[in-house]
Structure 1
Amino acid sequence: NSNYGGSVYQDFAPGAKGNLKAGLKNQNASHRFLSSAPPTGCKTDGTYGKPPTTILVYRRSLNRVDRVEFKTYVKNVLPNEWRSHWPRESLRAGAIAVKQFGWYWALRSASKTPSGQCYDVADDTASQMYKPGSATAATNAAVDATWGIRMTRDGKIFKAQYCSTTTACRHWVTGDWMSQNGSRDKAEAGWSYSRILTYYYKGIVLQS
């Protein structure tokens, strides 16, 4: 249940000719011109109040940038950052953190590939692990259940970082990072996703 149906777009300028990338053939990719629905260029259509429609993902090993529907992106990151069999509230906390991290970077679109293409996030641990076709029923349910929730600090989307434990990442800052294993343990102890998030991320507001 990958929920990965036709949500990758290969961009061409209006009126231009180009060869479709063969690597997209087996991903049910949609090949569209820039004048169609997805936003174009490097700027996002997301705001602090509305998530982006799509996100630019640097497929590092393939040396290309894919424009991916944002919800599809989140659904194909979560099972690679959280274990699909973990408790529901842990998965929901993870779904919001994954969405938040991608949203934060989509509002910036400042990174460039070696060939000069702009992108929002990479598909590896430099950003978040994105693997097309990896979504599961449990993680999809967590994303769907929390999609209308946004997490802000001082009214803005902030960079919600996370790590397996509080000591595994050298850049850990208490109040800005969430422990993935900790979210599992707290969910097993009966904590809700909102309690988990407000425990790890200080000064935040959860809004629908």
Structure 2
Amino acid sequence: MDSTLKNQNASHQFLGSTPPPSTGCKTDGSNSRLPSSILVYRVSQHRVDRVDFKTYVKNVLPNEWVSGWPRESLKAGAVAVKSYAWWWALHSTRKVNGHCFDVYDSTSSQVYRPGSATAPTNAAVDATWGTRMTRGGSVFMAQYCATTSACGDWKTGDWMSQNGSRDLANSGWGYAGILQHYYRGIALS
């Protein structure tokens, strides 16, 4: 791995003599283009892995949503997982042992387990991969929690209930409606 690159593309080069004030880490993603990969700090292994971005989302969703839940809940979860990771890929200034990383593989970020992808969650990721969730034109850190009562800054419209997404899907809601119910002021494109 080239230590001057955060991700594999040349656009990830650390800035030479004028690094940003934080860490100098950059990504090839933007608010309109997904990053090609994400840097995952594997907590128990004390290392940073570069993971293809879609592979990452596919191996997070089944650890954050229940694979047997309704398809529309899984699709809402897929968009939320992707948006959360995308935001961190764009904004992370985290470093461990001199290595940049975007997210932890644990509940400190999202639970990532290589090889955990399932057919239903993969289908949800594939079905929504072209969907971009933004607020004010920018990707935002779409947070979520399991409880159906308020969590985090729920009242600000920055959190989604995982169980609530299941309940709304069971009531016939589509994934776009579920996302708009929880995340205020968003645009889906």
TM norm structure 1: 0.80
Aligned residues between the structures: 177
Change (3 A) 1:94 1:36: closer
Counterparts of 2:7 and 2:71 in 1: how far apart (Å)?
Answer: 40
Q: Tell whether the 8 Å contact from 1:153 to 1:205 is kept in structure 2 after alignment.
A: yes
Q: Tell whether the 8 Å contact from 2:148 to 2:162 is kept in structure 1 after alignment.
A: no
Deviations 1:128-170 (A, max 9, x none): 000000000000000000000000101110110000014474x
Alignment of 1:39-118 (within 5 A): 39=12, 42-113=25-96, 115-118=97-100
Change (3 A) 1:111 1:37: closer
Counterparts of 2:87 and 2:169 in 1: how far apart (Å)?
Answer: 25
SS in 1 for 2:133: strand
Q: Tell whether the 8 Å contact from 1:74 to 1:99 is kept in structure 2 after alignment.
A: yes
Alignment of 1:171-182 (within 5 A): 171-174=152-155, 175-182=157-164
Deviations 1:101-140 (A, max 9, x none): 0000000131112x12110000000000000000000000
1:146 aligns to 2:131 (yes or no): no
Letter in 2 for 1:82: W
Counterparts of 1:155 and 1:165 in 2: how far apart (Å)?
Answer: 29
* Partner in structure 1 of residue 22 of structure 2: none
Q: Tell whether the 8 Å contact from 1:44 to 1:107 is kept in structure 2 after alignment.
A: yes
5+ residue gaps, structure 1, are 1-10, 15-32
Structure 1 residue 172, shift from structure 2 partner: 3.3
Counterparts of 1:156 and 1:34 in 2: how far apart (Å)?
Answer: 21
SS in 1 for 2:106: coil
Counterparts of 2:36 and 2:60 in 1: how far apart (Å)?
Answer: 16
Q: Tell whether the 8 Å contact from 1:166 to 1:172 is kept in structure 2 after alignment.
A: no
Q: Tell whether the 8 Å contact from 2:87 to 2:140 is kept in structure 1 after alignment.
A: yes
Change (3 A) 1:116 1:147: same
* Partner in structure 2 of residue 128 of structure 1: 110
Structure 1 residue 35, shift from structure 2 partner: 10
* Partner in structure 1 of residue 141 of structure 2: 159
Q: Tell whether the 8 Å contact from 1:77 to 1:128 is kept in structure 2 after alignment.
A: yes
TM norm structure 2: 0.87
RMSD of the alignment, in Å?
2.0
Q: Tell whether the 8 Å contact from 2:7 to 2:36 is kept in structure 1 after alignment.
A: no
Structure 1 residue 88, shift from structure 2 partner: 0.2
Counterparts of 2:84 and 2:164 in 1: how far apart (Å)?
Answer: 18
Counterparts of 1:148 and 1:198 in 2: how far apart (Å)?
Answer: 17
Q: Tell whether the 8 Å contact from 1:44 to 1:109 is kept in structure 2 after alignment.
A: no
Counterparts of 1:87 and 1:44 in 2: how far apart (Å)?
Answer: 34
Change (3 A) 1:77 1:60: same
SS in 2 for 1:107: helix
